[in-house]
Amino acid sequence: MQKKNPQKEIQSSQGIMSTILQNIPKESNVTKIDYEGPKIALYTNSPKYLLENNEIISNLVNIIKKRIVIRTDESIRKIEEEAKQIIINQIPKDANLQGMFFDNAIGEVSVEVKRPWLLQNTKFNVSEITERVGWRLRIRKAATKTSTTVQTINYNLKISSSDRSKQLKQIGEKIFRPRLSRKSEVSLLTLGGFGQVGRSCMLLMTQDSKILIDCGVNPGTRNPTESFPRLDWANITLDDLDAIVISHAHLDHTGFLPVLCKYGYKGPIYCTEPTLPMMNLIQLDAIKVSAAQGKSPIYSERDVKQIMKQTITLPYSTVTDIAPDIKLVLSNAGHILGSSTCHFHIGNGDHNFVYTGDIKYGKSMLFESASWNYPRVETLLIESTYGAKEDIQPTRQEVESAFINAINTTLVDGGKILIPIPAVGRAQEIMMVIDQYMKSGEMIESPVFMEGMISEASAIHESYPEYLARELKQKILETDNNPFDSEYFTNIEHPDAREEPLRDNMHCIIIATSGMLEGGPVLEYFKNIAPVKKNKILFVSYQVNGTLGRRVLDGTKQVSLIGKNGKIEAANINCSIEKLDGFSGHSDYNQLISFVHKLRPKLRRVLVNHGERRKSENLSMSIRRMFRIPTHYPQIQEAIKLF
């Protein structure tokens, strides 16, 4: 008689369902078991029982090794208006309810309040309210200013809810299909972002599955064979892909993704929850930028909306099946909001591949340092933006005191400080630094004006405090001392409002986009601020060769700008110019080496990407010499056998 292998049986759909039914108490009142993408959804008539006895679900997860989620049976869901009223009555006035969003596809209601800590008491019983309204409650912190990006996503999720339910079920069936082969063979095809910074993209392949990792563009080039990932070379159709995994929102990792949706990619896109609004914001902005430069955009707003419908967001540190033989865990990468390292567990632990994405191994005010605690890694693929030996940045302490000094000296003289800044990430980091040091008294208190996409990007940061550094998260979720809501900050909503920061006797800090003086509202301020000697232009981000920012930094005394009516205007630069390194979201050379050193599992091989060729080569050599393990810095269009 053939002996049954229990692990093998649970791999099949029927096995999963019957194991759940055998192991769940009657009181759970489970009415239906269904796939919800990579998760198994248990629908119940009495959610309170399962919510209050969570050991039942954790035991089940241990047996079937799959993610399980509790859902309410549709029959018990009250109509939205009625559910809304019941919830409103339960929420204390002081918590300051801002809105509710009902997601029909999964029966969940997000309740947004200004002061979520007031709901952390026994009077506000989440499982009891869930039982009453028939919708699962999710309490969220409402941002100071509502993020329109998050609102648009919610709206698109709502109008596509019935399609999404069907899609999630199909995705689940595809993930949990029987494996074709028991043997694991793993290879990696390099499609972009190797020996360069830009168009990051690669294909991870086994006999059973194909996963595309990142899908960026190279914004600096015009020629399609140099701007876009070499998917043509990979010789696959979009239907062959099981999933796309996105490490973080930057354009060099996501800029080509809308094009795949435009040409018919229908499968799941996995990333963290804040990565979705962040990449939407960045992708839509890229359309505007191309239009302003007179180029025709490679995708439209419709394609960006399509991404919202196909994305499945994953929390950090959760094991998720994304293909019959591949599990994925995303962990904090410390680089920008929602950025993640991607751990692929292939076969039954046959091979473990970690892709760092862009990584900051060092704490900032916004984020914790990148996670390093992987249970197993055989192949590591690490970025090398600052992979050359001379790429050493000052410590946080050094850069923060230099920043305080740079601001104070100008404010004392009665001048204004203009900080040209990229809207996403760096702007929020600088805001946090300013707020902290003005409050502590080390920086002279002054108004801070902001213009550009900064306030929208900040609203997204504030909407996902779970992804921010511990202290900042605690301030936002548990106190009224929320730095994003600081009284120092004023957002300039309209060009007419620029008069105030530009007034003669106004000593202030102005933070505006773009970061390299290549267009955006920063130029309007620049024209006024640059000619006056007591003012200062303070750069806190990298200035690429050929940009106006770089020329100013290199000491140009006069520049030509396009004025209001398309006329060329000359601006003299008499103010002081300063640049500070050390606020970077990337690890410097020392941090990259420390990260590799910190990894406990024995690495078999290290691959290096995301850097100019010389930097990748140097990091690769250094790691080989120091750790005595084989390393390689592939170029684009290489096929590498990992296992």
Identify which of residues 214 and 578 has a Cβ nearer to Zn ion in the complex. 214
* Residue 521 phi, psi dihedral angles, 5° rounding: -60, -20
> Smallest distance from the beta carbon of 248 to Zn ion, in angstroms?
6
> Smallest distance from the beta carbon of 452 to Zn ion, in angstroms?
19
Written as six digits, the tokens of 234 are 């990979």
> Smallest distance from the beta carbon of 46 to Zn ion, in angstroms?
46
Identify which of residues 129 and 342 has a Cβ nearer to Zn ion in the complex. 342
> Smallest distance from the beta carbon of 355 to Zn ion, in angstroms?
13
Interface segment toward Zn ion; rule CB under 5 A; list 199-207, 313-321, 357-365, 405-413: 357-365
- Cα-Cα end-to-end distance for the chain: 34
- Give the H/E segment covering residue 327: strand 326-332
Identify which of residues 199 and 250 has a Cβ nearer to Zn ion in the complex. 250
Q: Does 360 bind Zn ion (CB under 5 A)?
A: no
> Smallest distance from the beta carbon of 528 to Zn ion, in angstroms?
32
Identify which of residues 154 and 514 has a Cβ nearer to Zn ion in the complex. 514
Instruction: Quickly list DSSP for 19-88.
Output: HHHHHS-GGG-EEEEEEETTEEEEEES-HHHHHH-HHHHHHHHHHH-SEEEEEE-GGGPPPHHHHHHHHH
Identify which of residues 64 and 212 has a Cβ nearer to Zn ion in the complex. 212
Q: Other CB atoms closer than 10 Å to residue 226's CB: what's the count?
A: 15
Interface segment toward Zn ion; rule CB under 5 A; list 35-43, 351-359, 392-400, 536-544: 351-359
Instruction: Quickly list DSSP for 452-511.
Output: STHHHHHHHHHH-GGGS-HHHHHHHHH-S--GGG-TTEEE--SGGGGHHHHSTT---EEE
# binding residues, Zn ion (CB under 5 A): 2
Rounded to 10°, the helix 301-310/275-292 angle is 170
Identify which of residues 250 and 461 has a Cβ nearer to Zn ion in the complex. 250
Are 522 and 514 contacting, i.e. CB atoms less than 8 angstroms apart?
A: yes
> What torsion do the CA atoms of 179, 201, 390, 401 make, to the nearest 10 degrees?
-100
> Smallest distance from the beta carbon of 396 to Zn ion, in angstroms?
19
Residue 313: name the closest of 272, 362, 351 by CA. Answer: 272
> Smallest distance from the beta carbon of 418 to Zn ion, in angstroms?
25
What is the rounded CA–CA span in Å between residue 66 and residue 168?
A: 15
Residue 8: name the closest of 176, 147, 159, 242 by CA. Answer: 176
> Smallest distance from the beta carbon of 490 to Zn ion, in angstroms?
29
Identify which of residues 252 and 435 has a Cβ nearer to Zn ion in the complex. 252
Partnered with residue 417 across adjacent β-strands are: 509, 536
The letter for the amino acid at 603 is L
* Residue 61 phi, psi dihedral angles, 5° rounding: -60, -40
Helices (H) and strands (E) in the chain, counts: 23, 28
Interface segment toward Zn ion; rule CB under 5 A; list 323-331, 354-362, 605-613, 615-623: 354-362
Buried b (16+ CB within 10 A) or exposed e, 1-15: eeeeeeeeebbeeeb
Identify which of residues 367 and 488 has a Cβ nearer to Zn ion in the complex. 367
Instruction: Quickly list DSSP for 555-597.
Output: T-SEEEEE-TTS-EEEEE--SEEEE--S--SS--HHHHHHHHH
Coil, strand or helix: which one is 377?
A: coil
Identify which of residues 358 and 617 has a Cβ nearer to Zn ion in the complex. 358
Identify which of residues 174 and 250 has a Cβ nearer to Zn ion in the complex. 250
What is the rounded CA–CA span in Å between residue 459 and residue 146?
A: 6
> Smallest distance from the beta carbon of 265 to Zn ion, in angstroms?
22
> Smallest distance from the beta carbon of 586 to Zn ion, in angstroms?
8
Out of 273, 358, 462, 524, the residue judged to bind Zn ion by CB under 5 A: 358
Identify which of residues 193 and 465 has a Cβ nearer to Zn ion in the complex. 193
Identify which of residues 134 and 334 has a Cβ nearer to Zn ion in the complex. 334
Identify which of residues 142 and 246 has a Cβ nearer to Zn ion in the complex. 246
Are 145 and 489 contacting, i.e. CB atoms less than 8 angstroms apart?
A: no
Which residues, 204 to 263, sit near Zn ion by CB under 5 A?
A: 250
Which residues, 481 to 540, sit near Zn ion by CB under 5 A?
A: none
Written as six digits, the tokens of 371 are 């996670």
> Smallest distance from the beta carbon of 216 to Zn ion, in angstroms?
9
Q: Is the peptide bond before 514 cis (omega within 30 degrees of 0)?
A: yes
> Smallest distance from the beta carbon of 601 to Zn ion, in angstroms?
25
89 to 93, 137, 187: CA distances (angstroms)? 9, 14, 56
> Smallest distance from the beta carbon of 358 to Zn ion, in angstroms?
4
Which residues make up the interface to Zn ion (CB under 5 A)? 250, 358
